[in-house]
Structure 1
């Protein structure tokens, strides 16, 4: 057990590296997205949620091509992608049920 922990500690993707701490910090996006599922879908920003989807897709690609491969980062962004897409689905389901003429702008600029 000690040898396994030592090997992990000293590995190129272990806790001594940004390969470890970057993904750990990014799990905050996933946790925040899960917490937001308790809120009304009308509070979801489709612009920001779409941006988060693009961000996670780009970082999934990065996590796959970087050497050594960063499976922790890949997993984190796969989970974030799923959470954000579900948020978009919740928002769109709510938005599409709004009566015509009452739909509010989704743009941040008013």
Structure 2
């Protein structure tokens, strides 16, 4: 019985490898490559000071990830790996945008300034 189960598992793996979303296709490797954006954003969160974040590039990455989340959902078959990658990148980039906004001179007036930052009125 155990040997038969092993054959079933092997054939499922072989079927996935040869499937339209398996590792023999760009449907698989495109999202794998895009995880680099997520990892880079996480690395920036840990190391980059908020003052050096580019508002324009972060906004562009947010729009890019939203568009590709829609694309991943709309194509047939749905590319769930691509969707997850861009959903993760959207979260990372929105956090970067929040960090950028927290150090702007107007941030304290709207209640989301970085710790220790003072509003324009208290200066």
- Can you list the C-alpha shifts for 1:85-108, whole angstroms capped at 9, x where unaligned? 0000011011135876xxxxxxxx
**What TM-score, normalized to structure 2?**
0.77
- Regions of 4+ moved over 6 Å: none
Matched, 1:61 2:46: no
**What TM-score, normalized to structure 1?**
0.86
- Can you list the C-alpha shifts for 1:20-61, whole angstroms capped at 9, x where unaligned? 000000000000000000211111101000000000000000
Q: 1:9 aligns with which of 17, 21, 24?
A: 17
Give the superposition deviation at 1:62: 0.3
Matched, 1:51 2:60: yes
Unaligned runs of 5+ in 2: 1-8, 108-116
Q: For this pair of structures, how many residues does the alignment match?
A: 100
Say which structure is richer in helix: 2
